[in-house]
């Protein structure tokens, strides 16, 4: 376990189990508070970021990262859920155009979604046989590349914002559903690193950072703010270059003590790990 009492596991979820099954399995093995940075549907496989101990406090910073997927579209078929778990119907109509939408996209939430509507998760309503007009939300598709097309099968690599339903994206082809889905990246975290146990500082390395001296580290451990720049710095440090009001890592001797946000010339703690 990392020195800051937090760790992040990179796991490869197999098909056929829920994300919560995987989280529960890790919780039983580690006997620690456990969370995640984004779920996968039961039929999907690939990278899940599991948070242990104090790292569960960092969920908000990892949940919003862009996701990368490899998806197989089964052409000439439709599914009531957009995936292989729904009721399947063959149409035999192979789409001529295999271009998926990119940029800003409005998606209507599927009834299989875990999003709450009127205080209840949509999939619970679906299990009772209810059908409602679900809300729409805006997502962003950074890229959707057709890697291969052969007969009734098309392979895509898709990079999209958090909250994007890839199966709904595949359904824009009309006569197609997402038969296979594999998540290969969460932000800079890659499926190639599955099995690694990261410290919280390593997992948040994509953020600008501010190294603290010993006195500042004591302040931050008590939740007190610190100057945006270390004493004697000329403004060319990573934090100063980041701009905006985004989160900043506060580290001491390589250990993540807190995540803060700029407030004028100060950095005020949002989450304290130490």
Number of structural domains the chain divides into: 3
**In terms of pLDDT, which residue wins out, 216 or 111?**
216
Asked if residue 160 and residue 87 are part of one domain, the reply reads yes
Catalytic (active site) residue 41: yes
**Token duo for residue 261:** 């946000």
Per residue in 236-270, pLDDT tens?
455 444 456 899 999 999 999 999 999 999 999 99
Asked if residue 182 and residue 71 are part of one domain, the reply reads yes
Q: Residue 8 pLDDT more than 50?
A: yes
Q: Residue 115 pLDDT more than 90?
A: no
List % helix, strand, coil for the chain (3-state, nearest 5): 20, 40, 40
Among the candidates 186, 220, 235, a domain finishes at 186
Asked if residue 193 and residue 182 are part of one domain, the reply reads no
Asked if residue 90 and residue 166 are part of one domain, the reply reads yes
Per residue in 162-190, pLDDT tens?
999 999 999 999 899 999 999 999 999 99
Asked if residue 172 and residue 105 are part of one domain, the reply reads yes
| Position 1 in a domain | no
pLDDT band at 133 (very low <50, low <70, confident <90, very high): low
CATH classification at residue 213: 2.30.130.10
| Position 160 in a domain | yes
| Position 100 in a domain | yes
Asked if residue 151 and residue 98 are part of one domain, the reply reads yes
Asked if residue 75 and residue 145 are part of one domain, the reply reads yes
CATH classification at residue 177: 3.30.2350.10
Does this model's pTM top 0.85? yes
Asked if residue 82 and residue 159 are part of one domain, the reply reads yes
Q: Residue 48 pLDDT more than 90?
A: yes
H helices of the chain, where? 19-30, 59-63, 122-127, 166-170, 200-203, 214-221, 238-242
Q: Which residue has the tokens 């994007």?
A: 164
Measured in degrees and rounded to the nearest 5, phi and psi for residue 113 equal -70, 150
| Position 96 in a domain | yes
Q: Per the residue annotation, which of 4, 41, 83, 175 is the catalytic one?
A: 41
Asked if residue 175 and residue 80 are part of one domain, the reply reads yes
Asked if residue 221 and residue 158 are part of one domain, the reply reads no
Q: What is the pLDDT of residue 155?
A: 98
* Sign of the torsion formed by the C-alpha atoms of 159, 160, 162 and 166: negative
Among the candidates 146, 171, 203, a domain finishes at 203
| Position 262 in a domain | yes
Cα 174 from Cα 245, distance rounded (Å): 41
| Position 86 in a domain | yes
Domain housing 239: 209-272
Average confidence (pLDDT) over 231-238: 54
Average confidence (pLDDT) over 124-152: 81
Q: What is the pLDDT of residue 168?
A: 94
Per residue in 190-226, pLDDT tens?
999 999 999 999 999 999 999 999 999 999 999 999 9
Asked if residue 261 and residue 161 are part of one domain, the reply reads no
């Amino acid at each position: 376990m990392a020195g800051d009492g937090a760790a992040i596991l990179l796991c490869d979820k197999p098909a056929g189990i829920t994300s919560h099954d995987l989280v529960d399995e890790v919780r039983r093995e580690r006997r620690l508070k456990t969370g995640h940075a984004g779920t996968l549907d039961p039929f999907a496989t690939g990278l899940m970021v599991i948070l242990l101990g104090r790292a569960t406090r960092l969920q908000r910073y990892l949940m919003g990262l862009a996701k990368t997927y490899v998806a197989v579209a089964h052409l000439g078929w439709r599914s009531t859920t957009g995936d292989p778990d729904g009721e399947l119907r063959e149409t035999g109509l192979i789409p001529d155009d295999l271009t998926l939408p990119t940029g800003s996209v409005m998606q209507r939430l599927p009834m299989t979604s875990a999003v709450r509507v009127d205080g209840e998760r949509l999939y619970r309503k679906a299990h009772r046989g209810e059908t409602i007009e679900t809300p729409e939300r805006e997502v962003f598709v950074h890229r959707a590349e057709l890697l291969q097309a052969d007969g009734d099968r098309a392979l895509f690599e898709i990079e999209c914002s958090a909250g994007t339903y890839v199966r709904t994206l595949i359904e824009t082809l009309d006569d197609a559903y997402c038969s296979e889905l594999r998540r290969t990246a969460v932000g800079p975290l890659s499926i190639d690193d599955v099995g690694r146990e990261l410290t919280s500082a390593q997992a948040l390395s994509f953020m600008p950072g501010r190294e603290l001296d010993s006195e500042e580290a004591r302040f931050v451990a008590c939740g007190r703010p610190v100057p945006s720049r270390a004493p004697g710095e000329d403004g060319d440090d990573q934090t100063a270059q980041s701009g905006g009001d985004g989160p900043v890592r506060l580290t001491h001797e390589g250990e993540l003590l807190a995540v803060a946000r700029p407030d004028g010339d100060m950095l005020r703690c949002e989450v304290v790990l130490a």
